[in-house]
Amino acid sequence: MNQYPFTYSKGPCIICDESKEDGVRINHHFICAHCEKEMIHLPISANSYSYFVQKLKKLSC
Ligand SMILES: [Zn+2]
């Protein structure tokens, strides 16, 4: 099983733009627990993965 090197923190989610208390921080970007679950439930391949990667790229500009 994958061990995600994420640390738990608070912040506005980069996926849904809502401030949540539960979630993970990836490269200084916060993803709430809800969106994190979607990431985990969806296969990390093709569409779902690139969707989140594009979200991350958008914020790193
Ligand atoms: Zn979210």
Block means of pLDDT (10 residues each) for the chain, 61 residues, are 54 87 82 84 63 72 54
The pLDDT of residue 57 is 78
pTM (whole model) above 0.85: no
Gap from CA of 61 to ligand 1 centroid (Å): 20
pLDDT confidence of residue 44: 57
Distance 14 CA to ligand 1 centre (A): 7
- The DSSP annotation for the chain comes to ------EE--EE-TTT--EESSEEEETTEEEEHHHHHHHHHS-SSHHHHHHHHHHHHHHH-
* Residue 31 confidence (pLDDT): 86
Q: Cα of 1 to ligand 1 centre, how many Å?
A: 23
Domain boundaries, the chain: 7-60
Q: Ligand 1: distance of its center to the CA of 49 in Å?
A: 15
- Residue 1 confidence (pLDDT): 47
